[in-house]
Amino acid sequence: MEHLFAMKLHSVKSNPKRFGKDMRDLQELVRAHPEIATREKVTQLCRDFGPADRQDEILNYILAYAND
């Protein structure tokens, strides 16, 4: 599932207009698989694949739906 997170984060980085849609998709991934959304994993994926200027926003958004 990490590869799906990475793909969605890269999508936001490449096309900021997709932010809302991709964040909703990430919410659904976290709801379906909360065990994959640990703070450490999400932080690393945001650093590696997400837009640098929105990392904190993305991290907070995603982790709000995770059982961390």
- Taking only the tens of pLDDT, the chain with its 68 residues reads 889 989 999 999 999 999 999 999 998 888 888 887 788 888 899 899 999 899 899 888 888 877 54
What is the average pLDDT score of the chain? 88
Q: Are 58 and 24 contacting, i.e. CB atoms less than 8 angstroms apart?
A: no
Burial pattern 47-65, b for ≥16 Cβ within 10 A else e, equals eebbbeebeeebbebbbeb
Q: Is the pTM of this model over 0.85?
A: no
Reported as a single tens digit per residue, the pLDDT across 14-32 is 999 999 999 999 988 888 8
